[in-house]
């Protein structure tokens, strides 16, 4: 029996959640059971109660706000424990159309993809300003370069995962899961597909960031951090070689003056050159050390994947529970 769980991270979505729930499909070809999981990220407007009133089967509730990344991972963990074969993640603000879920699921159902991401075609989004569209497109291009993927809309939260892909998901960012999960999947050589989707009219402003500057800052930090985790030797080699090359150029400049018998007036160049050469060499050594640590991290991730699989294999599907959250599971 094939089970799909549609997870919806929420933060104060009592007004928009009912429409999102009504929009979800009740039957999908190739899926035997469809269940809904709401992750209430410390809402203060009764979001969990609204979800329960609308017949949501599973609710994970945080006692305090933890952020989108934590809510997403809590939903993934809960869905796996509930025996999901496939997981669809969507937003509670009705941004994504529930009618597109069958289209989103098609590549994972036929076995051609591990992860499918909905493409909103950002260039044509009327509710998004031109500057934001440009930033989204540029950010997606950067993520494609560092992840070796072809995802056109990397910030889209409308996604489908196989059980295997969900088991391997390990989000460490506190900001958002969207960029990090793509970089991780790309570095792990997962099959990532994308399908065109429609976007509903905007119902509210984003609660993920306060300003465009904050979004750019957090997104850039996430990209650099995750890329450095998976390609530390490359990152530190680029930096180290650059610093070393500058030091070498400064030393050549001093040698030119020394040959011209003017070296006494440029001793500061010699000092600067020595400092840069030493720092560049140290950065290269740090890169080697980081690469060794990265190897250990990959072993730990593989161990975590195996432990998760063993844990889920030895327990029967049940409602999610945890010390940090109140968990509720109610029948339809």
One domain, residues 199 and 52: yes
Query: What is the number of residues in the chain?
Result: 332
**CATH code of the domain in which 149 resides:** 3.90.550.10
One domain, residues 197 and 287: no
One domain, residues 225 and 245: no
114 assigned to some structural domain:
yes
- CB of 312 within 8 A of CB of 80? yes
Give the Cα separation of 277 and 139 in Å (integer): 34
221 assigned to some structural domain:
yes
One domain, residues 109 and 42: yes
One domain, residues 167 and 252: no
How many domains does the chain contain in total?
A: 2
Phi, psi angle pair for 193, to nearest 5°: -115, 165
103 assigned to some structural domain:
yes
Q: Where in the sequence is the domain holding 108, given as residue range(s)?
A: 3-230
80 assigned to some structural domain:
yes
Among 130, 131, 133, 154, which residue's Cα sits nearest to residue 142?
154
One domain, residues 26 and 55: yes
One domain, residues 68 and 30: yes
One domain, residues 148 and 288: no
260 assigned to some structural domain:
yes
| Residue in the block written with tokens 């933060």 | 11
Q: For position 263, what pLDDT does the model report?
A: 64
Q: What is the pLDDT along the chain (332 residues), one digit of tens a residue?
A: 899 999 999 999 999 999 999 999 999 999 999 999 999 999 999 999 999 999 998 999 999 999 899 999 999 999 999 999 999 999 998 889 999 999 999 999 999 999 999 998 877 766 676 777 788 888 889 999 999 999 999 989 999 999 999 999 888 887 788 999 999 999 989 999 999 998 887 766 666 666 677 778 888 888 888 888 888 999 999 999 999 999 999 998 888 878 887 767 678 888 899 999 999 999 999 999 999 998 888 888 888 888 888 888 776 555 554 334 554 444 33
- Last residue within a domain, chosen from 230, 249, 272: 230
One domain, residues 209 and 240: no
Q: Can you read off the two tokens belonging to residue 306?
A: 């195996």
Could you list the beta-strand ranges (E) of the chain.
3-10, 33-40, 58-62, 86-89, 115-119, 159-162, 192-196, 325-329
One domain, residues 218 and 254: no
């Amino acid at each position: 029996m094939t089970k799909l769980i549609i997870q919806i991270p929420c933060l104060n979505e009592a007004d928009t959640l009912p429409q999102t729930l009504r929009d979800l499909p009740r039957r999908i070809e190739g899926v035997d059971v469809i269940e809904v999981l709401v992750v209430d990220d410390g809402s203060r407007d009764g979001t969990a109660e609204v979800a329960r009133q609308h017949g949501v089967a599973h609710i994970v509730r945080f006692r305090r706000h933890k952020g989108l990344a934590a809510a997403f991972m809590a939903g993934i963990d809960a869905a796996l424990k509930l025996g999901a074969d496939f997981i669809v993640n969507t937003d509670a603000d009705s941004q994504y159309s529930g009618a597109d879920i069958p289209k989103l699921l098609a590549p994972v159902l036929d076995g051609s993809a591990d992860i499918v991401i909905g493409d909103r075609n950002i260039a044509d989004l009327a509710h998004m300003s031109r500057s934001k569209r440009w930033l989204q497109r540029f950010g997606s291009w950067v993520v494609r370069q560092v992840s070796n993927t072809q995802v056109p809309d990397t910030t889209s939260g409308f996604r489908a995962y196989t059980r295997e892909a969900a088991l391997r998901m390990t989000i460490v960012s506190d900001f958002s899961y969207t960029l990090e999960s793509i970089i991780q999947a790309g570095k792990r050589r997962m099959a990532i597909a994308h399908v065109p989707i429609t976007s509903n009219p905007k119902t509210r402003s984003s609660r993920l960031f306060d300003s465009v500057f904050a979004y750019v800052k957090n997104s850039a930090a996430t990209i650099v951090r995750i890329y450095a985790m998976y390609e530390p030797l490359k990152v530190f080699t680029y930096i180290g070689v650059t610093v070393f090359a500058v030091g070498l150029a400064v030393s050549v400049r001093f040698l030119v003056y020394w040959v011209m018998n003017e070296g006494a007036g440029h001793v500061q160049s010699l000092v600067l050159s020595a400092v840069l050469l030493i720092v560049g060499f140290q950065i290269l050594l740090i890169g080697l050390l980081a690469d060794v640590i990265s190897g250990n991290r990959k072993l730990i991730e593989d161990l975590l994947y195996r432990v998760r699989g063993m844990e889920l294999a030895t327990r029967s599907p049940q409602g999610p529970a945890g010390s940090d959250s109140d968990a509720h599971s109610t029948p339809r």
